[in-house]
Amino acid sequence: MSAHQDFIPGNELYVSTFDKGHLPLPPSKKVAVVTCMDARIEPATQLGINLGEAHVIRNAGGSAKEALRSVVISQRLLGTREVAVFHHTDCGMLTFTNEQLHDKVKAEAPGNAAVAAAVDAIDFLPFSQLEESVKEDVKFLKENPLLLEGTNLTGWVYDVTTGKVQRVV
């Protein structure tokens, strides 16, 4: 039994009431949300975002650095003018260092030079201070020359235990 076996019945249910096939490509609220891939996060429901209103860019930790490619596409090609960065409590990114993950991957492929070189080349972008990491990511975007001038930038923390969001910057 694989998780993907639930996709077709789940989708059939969705399609049975789907009536949003007319939406245009650019997000109507002109906002891009950068957030974590954490399974407890559901930005649309948690932030009151409807289909077609926002870009949601997700990766491990909600890293603005990793999201930059998507943010540039979002702004330059699809008209967004606001970026909101969300990190969250109990994030996996708070639990390891680059060195630890590098060592773990290498230990799982002993003597494999290709694996060692490939993993050592990756900065997994872990962080140790939650609010500080949000501020750093907002600062990274603010100072990035590729970001459009006048972009409305905010930074937030989402609490996975209460479901509440709090603005940090």
How far apart CA 64 and CA 55 sit, in angstroms, is 14
Cα distance from N-terminal residue to C-terminal residue, the chain: 44
With CB under 5 A as the contact rule, which of the stretches 22-30, 86-94, 95-103, 143-151 interacts with Zn ion? Answer: 86-94
Q: Which residue number, 49 or 158, has a Cβ lying nearer to Zn ion?
A: 158
> How many residues sit close enough to Zn ion to count as binding (CB under 5 A)?
3
How far apart CA 7 and CA 94 sit, in angstroms, is 31
Residue 158: closest CA among 29, 5, 37, 3: 37
Q: Which residue number, 33 or 91, has a Cβ lying nearer to Zn ion?
A: 91
Spatial neighbors of 62 by CB under 8 A, at least 6 apart, are 34, 35, 36, 85, 86, 87, 88, 137
With CB under 5 A as the contact rule, which of the stretches 33-41, 102-110, 117-125, 155-163 interacts with Zn ion? Answer: 33-41
Residue 157 in contact with Zn ion, rule: CB under 5 A: no
Residue 137 in contact with Zn ion, rule: CB under 5 A: no
Residue 57 in contact with Zn ion, rule: CB under 5 A: no
Residue 33 in contact with Zn ion, rule: CB under 5 A: no
DSSP tally for the chain: helices H, then strands E: 6, 5
With CB under 5 A as the contact rule, which of the stretches 66-74, 87-95, 110-118, 135-143 interacts with Zn ion? Answer: 87-95
**Which residue ranges are tagged as binding site for Zn(2+)?**
36, 38, 88, 91
